[in-house]
Each structure stands twice: as C-alpha cells, then as structure tokens.
Amino acid sequence: MDSDLSDWTIEKALTIGVTMEEGAIKLYTESQAKVKSPGSKQLLKELAEEEKKHREFFMKALQNPEIVVDAGGLQREIMDLKVTDRLVDTSLSPDADYQEILIFAAKSEKTAHDFYMALAQRFKGHNIGEMWASFAKEELKHKHRLEAEYDDVVLAQM
C-alpha cells in the first residue's frame, strides 16, 4: 500500500477501503467456526456485520461521492487499550487458535485505523476527510472490543 497518499483520489481511497473491509468480513466470518464460546461467536458475528455496513457505505460512496456528507460516525472518543500493540505479530494459519485470531484481528483493526486516519489527513477540509476520521474511530472501537475480549478470555486463563 502506498505510504504517500498525496496523489490518491477519492475513488482510489474508497476502493481500498472496500477491499480492507472485505478482508475483515472474511476474517470474522471464518473465525466464528473456530471458537467454542457462544459469547465469542457473537462478538465475531457482530464485528462481521459492522464491517459489512462499512463496506456497503464505501460501495455506495463510490457510486455517489456526495453520500460522504452523511457518514454518521462516533461522537465519543474511544480509548485504545494497546493490549495487543506490543505482542508479536502472528500470521493467521488455518489452525489458528482464538488467542491468535484475537491478536491478528486487533492488529488488523489498528492498521485500518491508522490507514483511515492517514486518509482523513489527506482529505482534510473535505467532507470525505471527516468520513475517514469517523471510520477510523469505528476501527478503533473494534480494536477496543477485541482487546477487551483478549483481556477477559485469554489473559484470564493465564
């Protein structure tokens, strides 16, 4: 992915956003089959549904960029727990356990947050810049939920 976003168009940013959200949907949908706890399955299901909404929003915005004025983001700040920030990056193998899924997912949400914040800076002063900032908060909210789950499930067992 380009580190310099200065020449990115709104369309390119939205297209990459769709791709990122599709990756998250796949991760959360496939991971549901790997966990036993009903609460964990529900968390992953909810995250997949939220990512589907993000993807649909980006797809609609690709068809009609004027839609970005109504992103409807979070108004409150989300605390970044940073639980997984210092943990070793893990790849997601087909036989990954729940701990590996949570670490991978939380780090993916951080990557999405950082990327959307960079896009917010790139399009600062334009309605789409506010939209990207709003979606960055959404991804940080997801990271927060995953890290809280990690704390409640994985760290509680140690």
Distance CA 25, CA 20 (A): 9
What is the distance between the alpha carbons of residues 104 and 112, in angstroms, rounded to a whole number? 12
Give 154's pLDDT tier (boundaries 50, 70, 90): confident
Predicted TM-score (pTM) of this structure: 0.86
pLDDT at 152 (0 to 100): 92
The answer to whether 80 and 144 are in contact (CB under 8 A) is: yes
Residue 32 to residue 45: CA distance in whole angstroms: 7
pLDDT band for position 155 (50/70/90)?
confident
User: CA 129 to CA 154: how far, in whole Å?
Assistant: 36
Per residue in 58-74, pLDDT (tens digit) is 999 899 877 665 555 55
**pLDDT (tens digit, 9 = 90+) per residue, 7-35?**
999 899 999 999 999 999 999 999 999 88
pLDDT tens-place string over residues 96-149: 889 999 999 999 999 999 999 999 999 998 888 988 999 999 999 999 999 999
For tokens 């210092």, the residue is 86
User: Is the CATH number 1.20.1260.10 carried by domain 10-69+81-157?
Assistant: yes
Give the pLDDT confidence score for residue 96 in this predicted structure: 87
Helices (H), 3-80: 10-31, 38-63
